[in-house]
Structure 1
Amino acid sequence: MGRDMLTRRSREEILREVKRIQRIREKVMAGEEVKCPNCGQTLMFFGKDSGKHPGIYCPTDDFEILIEYDHLSKED
């Protein structure tokens, strides 16, 4: 990838994108039907015990939000 293909985003643009992703995550995890911002397919949520990395995925692999969970219990 050439350097000219990368564009520098302002702090405000980055914060808007973070907020947009947080809204999408909150809606999907609350059970709302949310469309992929890239292709329009319905986004799917996969939890900790799904066998897939926890996150929100587009069925066409256009978009994903990976979710990291803190270790809730420690094994001794």
Structure 2
Amino acid sequence: MKEVFAGIFVFIVGIVLLWFGIFYVNKKNYKEPDDGMNYLLKLTPLPKIINYWLAKFLILLAGFLLVFSCIYGVIQNI
């Protein structure tokens, strides 16, 4: 039963990361950043546009990996 709750939690975190990567990390927030977006734009000493795409890529990659790993786990246990 613990595996079910862990799988649901991982799936929800994956969906939240996908939402965050698609709707929050966007060009509007890049041009007019708030405190959280300023932190992402100072992720590395590279220019801000590279940090923007790097953060967007890593967040979306993590979200896709979590969602697909949950789907794969469910399919393997059927």
State TM-score, norm by structure 2: 0.34
Return the structure number with greater relative CO, CA threshold 8 A, min gap 6: 2
As a proportion of its length, which structure holds more helix? Answer: 2
State TM-score, norm by structure 1: 0.35
